[in-house]
A and B are shown apart, each in its own frame.
Chain A
């Protein structure tokens, strides 16, 4: 994948220390991001190897199947979320969109719509629409996405309860539910992973190999400056929210069929797992930095780590503490590293700016 090219006028206004070149900053961050991706991949390999050696059942065919099944919905939502966070926005309503599409799908099935393609199409359209609502509030009204999507997080989850209440729709044809988690012939890995892989390539190319992708980094670094260079900031953000909604709905379809159960509380709290993976993947919560390969590594790492620890009889609370600590480290780590480097440089005023 291509390196993100520093956007014209990149560097966060107000955050960049005065008198320091923005090109130098971006280059340094690129270095940090690159090494972070590598660190994640090394951590991933270490967890798998150590787990396979120390814990019975790790890295067995069934292990990979279960890990993949758990990772798929998080990965589906993390792809567009990465782009959203790179632009400096966030979407916390994703799990509620997932829940609402699950219930609507369930209700339509109860009403006798028995064509799976139709149900999927309706779900995706609904997801896109829900995402568009977020997009309109953020771009047309200029409201902060954090506030807007906390609102829709509650709103969409509430609507999900309006649709199905405390009922669950579970009488889907067994062919659908087993089909959704069926393995690739000859393997134990579910075929849905191919869909995730294709979408990952699409999002990866979009982010790292197109002018649109470069524009996303630019607006994450400085939306104002990006606008002056002719980037359609509002339009790009709007469509990113739409894409996030649609991908959340796709995850909802998968969720419904995987668990053979449409409930209003489906995927409750999943937004935190997604945001955690994206941030652990090296994407800056302030926007402008991060790469998709790191996010994918982080999604897989969290999924594998969780399963390894469960197999090693680590209790649920400890598990939460470990993932929480990892997240803190991932957010604080790169910042502390950059700060230390800044300090060191200040001691040696003659030192040249890092060059690539």
Chain B
């Protein structure tokens, strides 16, 4: 899971406007614009009806992709009155994915929304599909930028770092105190980028009462993470909070805390999945944790694909489009669209998710 949490290169921040446009309001009867003519205003031009929008996840029967495709993408495709489908291999292999890309291209898909099993291996097939007229949106896992039109990036490194610090700060309370980070492996690129940005974030005056005393590595191994969490509390008796920005680490730390005397006294947050964290949120060990909402990811990808296929955007930096209830988005550098800040799970909303 933590492999999916990758540091994005997105530099543009999504303009998360408060506009929660009703879906029906967006999909008017106005004829679609011609291709290659980006919409200037975003709201004026609409997505064509009847577009065939196909989702091709890394593998089918995976709860994460079930949430992104069948609970997010499908809703968006129905909102724009398109034809939704999800297809894909039962094992996450690039060659199997190529076969499905070829099939989609023969079926005349207008939009292929794909999470790449290999950033290069599916390139040739995607190019052939684009030559045949399909628009390609990558989500969750990108290909080479030259092989797709836009990439929907689930979270930026800055966004993740800021959100993690905010959550631990809220959980620990106004008095602050000592905190620690439980990471994955010592040389994990994305983890280290996030930790560096968390340190920058912690240096800001509003987090002056939080003091980072240790960073330990659980190697994304459940037992090692469990032992590291145990070690942290033994070594730092005044510890008030732990941030574990990896799904394995946060679940292991939560398991340790929930069975120890520190439950409720030492706060924990991180990047986790609702299914792994549900019990610990409900028993009060964890107040909140973050991850992106996969349904929103699929929802946004479908709208981006619809906008591409309707000629509203071409994937150039600075273009804007409206994604139903999520509001307006701007295409960033290299055709990257950032979903937004990580989604925060609490005991109030965790039961709405199953992945």
Kindly state whether residue B159 has any CB partner on chain A within 8 Å. Answer: no
Q: Min CB distance, A196 to chain B, in Å? A: 18
Given contacts A177-B124, A315-B87, contact A66 B60 (CB under 8 A): no
**Stretch of A147-155, A201-209, A263-271 that contacts chain B:** A263-271
B61:A263 contact, CB within 8 angstroms: no
Of the candidates A267, A313, A317, the one whose C-beta lies within 8 Å of that of B61 is A317
- A258–B95 Cα distance when bound, in Å, is 10
Give the contacts of B242-288 with A (CB-CB under 8 A). Answer: none
Count of chain B residues with a beta carbon within 8 Å of a chain A beta carbon: 28
**B85-113 Cβ-contact flags toward A at 8 Å (1 or 0):** 10111110111001110110111100000
Q: Specify the chain A residue showing the minimal Cβ separation from B89.
A: A316
Kindly state whether residue A63 has any CB partner on chain B within 8 Å. Answer: yes
**Stretch of B115-123, B169-177, B186-194 that contacts chain A:** B115-123
B90:A261 contact, CB within 8 angstroms: no
Given contacts A259-B94, A316-B89, A320-B90, contact A311 B107 (CB under 8 A): yes
Of the candidates A260, A266, A316, the one whose C-beta lies within 8 Å of that of B60 is A316
Q: How large is the interface on A (under 10, 10 to 19, 20 to 34, 35 or more residues)?
A: 20 to 34
A267:B124 contact, CB within 8 angstroms: no
Q: Min CB distance, B125 to chain A, in Å? A: 9
Kindly state whether residue A56 has any CB partner on chain B within 8 Å. Answer: yes
Q: Min CB distance, A209 to chain B, in Å? A: 35
- A255–B108 Cα distance when bound, in Å, is 26
B106:A316 contact, CB within 8 angstroms: no
Residues of A within 8 A of B124 (CB): 177-178, 181, 258-260
- A333–B102 Cα distance when bound, in Å, is 33
**A58-78 Cβ-contact flags toward B at 8 Å (1 or 0):** 001011001000100000000
Residues of B within 8 A of A170 (CB): 119-121
- A262–B87 Cα distance when bound, in Å, is 25
- A310–B98 Cα distance when bound, in Å, is 12
Q: Specify the chain A residue showing the minimal Cβ separation from B91.
A: A269
Residues of B within 8 A of A267 (CB): 95
**A246-280 Cβ-contact flags toward B at 8 Å (1 or 0):** 00000000010011110101111100000000000
Residues of A within 8 A of B106 (CB): 57, 60, 62-63, 66, 311
Q: Specify the chain B residue showing the minimal Cβ separation from A255.
A: B95
Most buried by A among B85, B102, B105: B102
- A57–B124 Cα distance when bound, in Å, is 20
Kindly state whether residue A168 has any CB partner on chain B within 8 Å. Answer: yes
- A263–B116 Cα distance when bound, in Å, is 14
Of the candidates B90, B95, B98, B122, the one whose C-beta lies within 8 Å of that of A316 is B90
Of the candidates B88, B103, B119, B121, the one whose C-beta lies within 8 Å of that of A311 is B103
Most buried by A among B61, B91, B118, B123: B118
- A313–B93 Cα distance when bound, in Å, is 19
Residues of A within 8 A of B122 (CB): 259
Given contacts A62-B106, A70-B99, A313-B85, contact A263 B118 (CB under 8 A): yes
Q: Given contacts A66-B103, A260-B124, list 4 more A-B pairs with CB under 8 A.
A: A66-B99, A259-B98, A259-B122, A263-B94
Residues of B within 8 A of A (CB): 60-61, 85, 87-91, 93-95, 98-100, 102-103, 105-108, 118-124, 132
